Structure 1
C-alpha cells in the first residue's frame, strides 16, 4: 500500500510539472508574432504531450505542419514532418509513418539537406523493417549509407550498419549481421555514443545466443547491463533479462529461465511496453514447451498472438504462430496445429522469413502424413528439405571452416613435434606414409572408376529424362495448336447455326452456307490427319495404289494454291511436264505430301516471295522439288523438322501455326513408298525440299492431252471486302484485327448494325491503323501473322496515343494461364473460341459505355477529381495526374493556356487534343476553363473572398466573361450561386 501511494505521489508531481511546462509554452505560442517561433514552440509542446496525451501530441505537431506549408522555413517544415513520422511510428501506424517520412525525404532533397535525407531514409528503413518488408528496408539503409559516406556523416553510417545488421539477423544471415554490428560498434565507440554502442553489443549477444555460443552471449549481456545500469536505462535492462531467460531455457536451466522471465514481465509492465510484454509472454510459452508442458504453453502463446496481431507485428506473429502450432501438434490437436502453422507460413512467405517457412513445413509434413494426406506431406517435406539445406549450409559454413582450420593446425603441430623428437620414427612413418599413399591411390582409382560408372548411368538417365521432357513440351504445344485449329472453324460453324436457332424465320445467306462448308471440310481434314497419325504410330500405314496420270493429279494439287498466291502477291511458279505419265501410285498420299510441302512454303514466306514446284521423271526416278525464298531454317534445326510435333518459330508465321505433324506425316508417306525426302536451307534466303520415289510408267495411253492453260496469278487476285460506300453513320468505331477472312466476315455481320467497322488483316497493320485513326474499341485475334495479339495489346496499352482504347482479345487458347497472360498485357476482356455472338455484342457495348462513364466524370461540376477513378490503365492514370498537377499549379496564371500545357507535356497540338478528348470528352481549352470555374465554385463555397477577387484568383481577367462561363457550367451566375449556398 505504501509503495502504491509513493508511485501515486510521484505521478502527480510529474503531471503537475508537465502541466506547468505546457502552460508556459502555450503562453509563448500565443504571444509569438513569427510563424517560425510558433513552430518551434509547437515542437516543444509535442515533446511534452507525447508521454502523457497522444491526441494532444498529434494535434500540436499537425499544427506545426500546417504553419510550415506556406514555406516560410523548409528546415522547420522538414523537422515537423520528421517528428510527426516518428510519432506515428511510436503508435505502430507504420503505413502512415512511411507516407509522412517520404514527404520529409522529398523536402530534404529539394533543399539539398544531406542530414535531413539521411534521417528520413533511416526512419523509412525502420518502418519497413517493422512491417517485415526486409527488401525495401535494406534498400533504404543502403541509400542512406551511400549519402552518409559522401558527406562523411559517421553517425548516420553507424546507424545504417546497425539497422542492416538487424535486417540480416531477422533473415537468418548471422555472419553478415555480425559484420554489420561490429562495424557499427566501432564507429559508435569512436563517437562516444555509449548508449547506442551498448545496444549494438546487445545485438551481438543475441546473435551469439542464436548460434549457441551461450557463454559468449552471457559475457556480452553482462557488459551491456553494466553500461545500461550506469545510464539508468530500465527498458534495456529488461531486454537483457529477456535474453538471459532465453539462454537459460536453451541450456535446460528452466527454473532460472522462469525467474528471469517474471522479472522481465514486471519491468515491461511498469514501462507500459505492450510489444515486449507480448514477446516475454511468448517466451514463457517456449519455456513450458522446453519442459514438455505443452498444455501450459498454449495460453501464453495465444495471449502473445493477440497482442502481435493488434500491433501488426508480422515477424513476431509468424514466430509465435509457429510455436503455438508445434505445441498443438504435440497435443495431437491437428486442426489447431494446421491453422497456426499455415498462418505462420503465409506470413513468412510474404516477408521472406525462410526459417519460419522451413519450420512450418517440417511440422505440416508430419501432420499431413499422420492424416494420410501423403501428397501434401511430400510437398511440405520437399520445401522444408530445400530450405534446411540452404540455410544450414549458409549459417554453419564459416564455423565449420574455422574448426577445420584449427584441427589442421593442431595436427601439423603434433607432426612437427614428433619428427623433431625421433629421426628413426620419422623414417618409419615415411615408409608407412608411402604405403598409405599407395593404398589411397588404389582406393582413389577404384572410387574414380565407380564414380565414372555412376556418372555415366546418371548421364544416360538425365538424357532420357530430357528427351521425355522435350516430348511432353512438344505434345503440349501440339494440343494447344490443334485446339486452335479446331476452335476457329467451330466458331464459324457454330455462330451462324446459333443465329438460325434464335431467328428461325431468317434463312442463312449463301455466303454463310459456303463458310460453314469450308470450315466443315477444314475440320474433316484435321480429323483425317489425326487418324493418319494414329495409323503411323501403330505401324498400320499401307499403300493403296491405283492407276492414273500422276502429272494430272499434281496439277490439280498445285493449282489449289493459285488464289492464295495472288492474294499475297507471291511469285508462284509450277513446272510439270505437259504430257501423260500413266503409272500406279497412291493418289491420296502423293497429294498430301505435295500439299504439306507447299503449305509450309507459303507459311514461312512473306508477301511478294518466290515459291517453286518442279516435277521431273527419269525412269524410274520420280522427283518433286519445292523451294521458297522465305525465312529459311537455321542449320541446327534442320534435323528436327521431320520430328513429330516440332514447330519452327517465326514472327510473321504465328498466324499460320498448325499442329506440327504435317512434315512428320509427309516423311512417313515417303518412307512407306521406299523413297527419300531431303531438305536444305539458308537463313533469310529460303528452303529447298526434294522428294525421290521409284515409279514404273505404264504404256497404255499414247494420245496427247490438251494443254492446260494456266491463268496468270494477277487475274486471280481477289480484292478484300469493302463497303459499297464510306460509312458516315455517327456511331462508335470498332477496329477488327483478324487474319481469318471468314472470322472477319462473321464478326462484322454481328456488329455492323450498331457500330462502324474498320478492318485489319494482321497485327502490324492493325497497330498502324489504331495509331493513325484511334477507334472507340479494338477486337483482336491472339494468333496472327507479323505481330500477334499479345504484342499488339502491349504496344497499344504502352503508347500514350492509344492507351485509353478498350481491347477485346479473341483466342482459341482456353487455359487459365493463357487468359491471365492476355489480361496482364492490358486486354480489357477475353473471349475464347467458339464464342456466342450475343456475348460479344454485350461485352462490346459494356466496354464502350464504361469509357463513356469515365468521360462523364470530367464533365461533373465537382472539383475533386481522383485520377484513379478516371482511368483504368496506369499510363492513362499517369497522364491524368500530370494534367491535374499542371492545372493545379498554374490555373491562377491568366497567361497560362493550351500552348503552355503542350510545352509541359511535350506533345503536339493534335496529339494533346486527341488524347484529352478521348479521356474527358473535352478539348484542352475547355478542360482548363472548367478547372478554373470548379476552383472558383470551391472558393465561393468557402467564402474565401469576393466574386471579383475569386475571378482574378482563378485566372480570369474579364469579369463578364467569367460570369458567362460560370453560368454555362453551373446554370447560375457566381453571385446567385453564392446566395444559394446554405
Structure 2
C-alpha cells in the first residue's frame, strides 16, 4: 500500500514537470530572439568547446542554447553557424553520427550559396569524422572533392586543408607512405608559394601553425618506412625542439617513438636505449597528467553534487540538475577508476615487455659469447690436430718433429688458459686473490716476452721495436705469471690488429717511482666513446675490422693491473693506432745513475723466391689463402706449399686486390675476418671475376645449418669446419681443382680446330650433344629418348658419357640445357627469363632458377638484368 502511494506521487510529479516544461517551451518560443553572431563570438564559443574552457554546466547550457536557436531561427546564415558549432562539439566528444548530420546540413548550405572557402573547411572536418568511424573510402572521396573544388574556385589558402588531411590519410590511415609523401610535398610547396600573401594572411598563419607540425610528424613516419633516413632525421630534430618548446607531451612521445625506429634502421643500440628512456620519461608525465586531470574533474563534480543537494528543497528544477550532475560525477569517477586500472595494466605490460627485451638481449649476448668462444678455441684445436698430422709423417726430421711438438704444447696451453680465464671472469663472487710476489730481473724478462711474438710478427711482416730505459740488473717485486699474461695480451692484441708492413713498439722506463710500460700499434685505433668500455669483460667494439675473439683479453689485463696495485690507460684515435700504458709502483731507493738504455730492433725478413723454383711454381696450381690468424697462415703454408703455389693475405680487402692482378685455380677463405668477412669477400669476388669460375672453400668454426645455407647461397663450393685434418683439406682442394679442369676441358671441346683428328668416341660425344641440342626445347626429353636417337642401350650410353665427361646422361642433359641458357642470356637472345627457360626445356621456373644458381653462382634473372644494363 505504501509502495503504491509512493509510485502515485512520482507519476504526479513527472506529469507536473512535463506540463511545466511545455509551458516554458511555449513561452520561450514566443519570446526567443536570435541575434547575429559575430566572428569573434563564433570563435570564442568554438574555442571554449574545443579546448574545454567551460565547466560541464556551462557546456551543457551552451549546447542547449545553440540547439534551441537552430530550432527557432529563420535566418539560414545564422542557423549554419550554430549547426557548425554543434557539429564541432559532437566531433570532439566522438558522437560521429550527430556530427555527420550537422556537417551535411552546413555543407549543403555552403554549396548552395557558393561559399567554397567554408565548404572546403567543412570537408576537412567531415573527413576527420569519417576517420573516427573508420569510413576511409568516404573520407578519401570527400578530401579529393575538396581539392578539385579548391582548384576550380582558387580558395587560397583554404586549399591547404584537404591536401594536409589527405597526406595524413595516406601516411597514417592507409599505410601508403609514398602517396603520403606526395601530398605532403604538395602541401609544403604551397606553403612556400603562399608565404608572402597578404590577403587572408591571418587565415594562412592559423592553418600553417595548426597543420605544419602534424604533417611533418606523419611525413617522418613515411620517410622511415621508405628508408629515407636523412629526411626523417631532419624532421625529427626540428619537431623535437618545437614540441618541447610548446610542451606538447603527446607529440614529443610520437617524436621519440620515431627516433627509436630511426636508430633501429641505423642499428645504433646506444641511441635506441637513450630514446627509449626519453619516451618512458614523457609517458610517465602524460599518465600523471591524465590522472591529475581526471581526479580534479571528479572532485569538482562531487563538490558540485554536494552543493546541489543542499539546494534541493528550494527548487524542483535543481533536483533534476543534481541528479544529472550526480550521474556525470559518478560516471567520471568510474572513468577515473577505469583509466587508473588500465594505466596500471599498461605499466605492468611495459614492465613485462622491458623484462622480455632484456632477456632477449641477454640471450643474444650469450649466444654471441658461446659462438665466439667456440671460434676462438676451434682455431688452436685445428692447429693442434694439424701439427699432430704433420708429426706422424715418417719423412720429417727430428728438428721439425720437436718444433711441431712444441707448437702442439703451446696451442694446448692456450686452449687451457682461455678456458681458465673465461671461468675466472664469470665468477661473480670471486674472493680477493693472495698474490705471491717474487724478485724478477725485469729488463731481460720484458725483452724475452716481447720477442716471443717474433714468429707471429714475421708471418704478418710486422716489425717489432723494443726499447727499455731501466737500471742494469734491476729486480722488481712482482708475480711472474701475471706479468707474462699481461705482456702476452697487450702485445698479442697489438700484432693482431696491426696491418701488414707496420710496426709494434714496446717501451719501458722508471719515472716518479713507477715502472712504466707502453705497447703501441699502428692499427685502426679505438673510437673515443668505446675507450671507456674496452676493459669490461666480454666487450667487443662494433666496427668494420672486427676479428675473432670473445673480449676477455683486456679485462684480464685490467684484473692483473688491479691485483698488482697498478694503473692502466689507453690513448687512441681512429686510424692512428692505440697506445696502452701500464704503471706499477717500485721501491723509492733506486739510484737512477746506473740506468742504461737497452734496445733491440727486429727487422722483417722478406722471403725471396729462388729463381730456380719459378719454373716449378709455373707447373703448380695457384691458390689464394685469405686468413687473419698468423698461426693458421703458417700451418696452411706447411701443408699446401708442397703441392701448390700459394699467396697469403690477411683480410678480404687484400684478397680482392690480389684477384684483380692474378689468376688462381682455387680460393680458401676464413669466415670471421677484419675489414671484410668471408661472406662479403665471396660476394665481392664474384663481382670482380664475373664470368670466370674459380672454386671457393669457406673455412670456419661456425658449424650451424643456417651458416652453411648462407654460404652455399652465395656460391661457396665447399664448407670446412674447424678443427679439420690435413688430409681432409687436401682432398677437398684436389677434388675441386680436378673438377674445374674437367669442366674447362669439356667446355673447350667445341672451340677445337675442325681439322683436328677426332676419335670415334669423341665423334660419338659430339653426336650425343647434337641430339640433345636438337631436342633441347622439349621438357620431356629423357635419357631413354637420347639412347634411342644414338642407337645405344641406356647402360651403354651411361658408360660412354661417363667415360668421356665424368657425368651421368641425366647430368649431361642438364649441363647442356644450362650452358645453352647461359649463352642465350650472355648473347642477349631473349629479354625475358621465362623465354630462356622454355627455349632450353625447363618446365619449372623454381627448378631452373635453383639449378642455374648452383651451376653459375648467380640467379638467371640477376644475370639477365646485368647484361641488359
TM-score range (shorter-chain normalised) is 0.3 to 0.5
Q: Scaled by the length of structure 1, what TM-score is found? A: 0.41
Q: Scaled by the length of structure 2, what TM-score is found? A: 0.46
Larger relative contact order (CA 8 Å, sep ≥ 6): 2
